[in-house]
Amino acid sequence: MKILISAALRDKSASRLALAVVLFAACQGFWDRVEAQELKLSYRKATFAGGCFWGIEKVFLELDGVVSTQVGYTGGVTKNPVYNQVCSGRTGHAEAIEITYDPARVRYEDLLEVFFTHHDPTTLNRQGPDTGTQYRSAVFYHDLPQKEAVIKAKDVLDRAGVFKTKIVTEIQPVGEFYPAEEYHQKYLQKNPHGYCSIQLQSPRIKQALKESGPGETHE
């Protein structure tokens, strides 16, 4: 391409130069799109439930390496549920967050640390003032390494005695994830004075998980 542009410049041909520039821009745009697609293919997903999804989404959105988030409903039996149905407790679904993250910038173990630090995993079907199965603590793993990582983290934290009682977080394979209504998405970003209970936990969590040994490495 550079040879073509140079030739056009020597010939002082405006038409040939214009063609060369257009072709160069087209090629550059093509390879930019290929690179962006390859990057997207390297992204991974993680799904957590930790009480009111407004608050937990805000926490993860601020984490470096998280590419995008969406809140929704999962873990139940009702298809295409709406918020009022989930609030009834009869759908089996939990309020959850689906995270797309870049494993080159943040590990799944780092996401688990944030998850266990920003909700109470020892209260069954409750987070602060919010009660019901829709507010349960749960990790929905996407593959075997994620399953092994969360089982390990749960065991480490229980053995370290970080919490006064045992962790009751459910560990389940991910199923259908139903995005919540649009007004729920990025709710606290759109409504900075909104409220959602966050049960912040001990800083000992980070140290306990760090001492447990390395997990997956950055790619």
Give yes or no: residues 92 and 182 share one domain: yes
Are 67 and 110 within one domain? yes
205 and 162 share one domain = yes
Residue 216 belongs to a domain: no
- Model pLDDT for residues 30-48, shown as the tens digit of each residue: 645 655 455 568 999 999 9
pLDDT-derived band at 8, boundaries 50, 70, 90? low
Residue that has been written with the tokens 């809140």 in this structure: 71
Q: Are 24 and 5 in contact (CB under 8 A)?
A: yes
Residues 51 and 93 both lie in one domain: yes
Residue span of the structural domain in which 26 resides: 2-38
Indicate which residue of 27, 52, 87, 196 is catalytic.
Answer: 52
d(CA 44, CA 100): 6
Per-residue pLDDT tens digits for 112-152: 999 999 999 999 999 999 999 999 999 999 999 999 999 99
The pLDDT value given to residue 131: 96
Report how many domains make up the chain.
2
Same-domain check for residues 131 and 93: yes
The answer to whether position 219 is within a domain reads: no
Give the residue from 219, 139, 201 showing the smallest Cα distance to 171: 139
Same domain, 54 and 22: no
Do 21 and 121 belong together in one domain?
no
| Percent of the chain surpassing pLDDT 70 | 79
Q: What is the pLDDT of residues 75-101, one digit of tens each?
A: 999 999 999 999 999 999 999 999 999
Do 197 and 166 lie in a common domain?
A: yes
- The answer to whether residues 142 and 78 belong to one domain is yes
Statement to judge: residues 17 and 116 lie in one domain: no
Q: Are residues 53 and 124 in the same domain?
A: yes
Establish if 191 belongs to a structural domain: yes
pLDDT digits (tens, 9 = 90+) for 178-208: 999 999 999 999 999 998 888 999 999 999 9
Distance CA 96, CA 76 (A): 11
Q: What pLDDT does 212 receive?
A: 80
Residue 177 has pLDDT above 80, yes or no: yes
Torsion angle, alpha carbons of 175, 111, 104, 99, to 10: 40
Q: In CATH, what number is assigned to the domain containing residue 83?
A: 3.30.1060.10
Q: How much of the chain exceeds pLDDT 90, in percent? A: 73
Contact 76/93 with Cβ under 8 angstroms? yes
Active-site residue flag, 52: yes
Three-state secondary-structure class, residue 10:
helix
Please provide the average confidence, as pLDDT, over all residues in the chain: 88
Q: Which residues pair with 45 in a beta bridge?
A: 100
| Distance, CA of 218 to CA of 104 (rounded, Å) | 5
- One domain for residues 32 and 87: no
Q: What is the pLDDT of residue 218?
A: 41
